[in-house]
Structure 1
Amino acid sequence: MMQHHLRPAGSPPVNGYSHAVSFTGPMVAVSGQVPVDADGQLVGEGDPDAQLRQVFVNLGVALAAAGVGFADVVKLTVFLVDLADLPAFRQVRDEFLDPERLPACSLVQVAGLVHPAFRVEIDALAGR
């Protein structure tokens, strides 16, 4: 069972996430996914949309391997090198996740990621 607490009484307005998500059952932690394909090749150098899509594809593969899917995601942590990529993140995220049942989310601007061409890394928690 999963319950989204979009905006509990007394909390500030939200923009694209739930303040809290409660759930029961097993929990799956997905390590940070980066914009590389199954062959280990960088996808979308300089292209935030392409990089974000590849990251979400990779998240989907990892979630499926653990027996869950995007509907089971309760928390995302997003690392962006450039906050100008935030609108692209929201657009791509909404292609993979139900905009009416968004997970809790943290967004962190970072100076860089493990590869200088990476613009984004995302990790996830999921539960049933």
Structure 2
Amino acid sequence: MQHHIRPEGSPPANGYSHAVSFAGPMLMISGQVPLDAEGRLVGYDDAAEQTRQVFRNIEVALEAVGSTMGDVVKLTVFLTNMSDLAAFREVRDEFVDTQRPPASSLVQVSGLVHPAFRVEIEAIAAIRSIP
């Protein structure tokens, strides 16, 4: 896996790589939301806690195939309020290697499947082997 954080001629990157190249099998992780293993909303009005739970859910999906956050090559982030961006970035940096961050897209949306959800994240990971 090779991270191309800022190829020459590209704009500055803030916590993401402009491109990540890899070969081999990949794992697509559906959009994860701030629900715990029992289906309870975590962090009702707290963007940081919701984001932390979403990343925990991504880690669970990765662990199911023997992978880690270090194997994530792309994140797609949906926020309902751009004022949550700083909280998202702070929590994201707890989970990703900031020296080798995944490629990333971030989109503001008018709403998610549940009105209390503030964040949803999809991920793509390069996996070592298919279990």
Q: Common fold, TM-score beyond 0.5?
A: yes
Q: 1:76-87 counterparts in 2 under 5 A?
A: 76-87=75-86
- Aligned-residue Cα RMSD (Å) equals 0.7
- What count of residue pairs does the alignment treat as equivalent? 127
TM-fit CA distance, 1:70 = 0.2
Which blocks of at least 5 consecutive residues in structure 1 are unaligned?
Answer: none
Partner of 1:8: 7
Query: SS state of the match for residue 2, structure 2?
Result: strand
**TM (normalized to structure 2)?**
0.95
Matched, 1:61 2:72: no
Which blocks of at least 5 consecutive residues in structure 2 are unaligned?
Answer: none
Deviations along 1:33-83, whole A, 9 cap, x unmatched? 000000001111011111011000000001111221100000000000011
Q: 1-side partners of 2:90 and 2:65: how far apart?
A: 25
Partner of 1:90: 89
**TM (normalized to structure 1)?**
0.97
Matched, 1:19 2:10: no
TM-fit CA distance, 1:24 = 1.3
Q: Which amino acid aligns with 1:65?
A: A
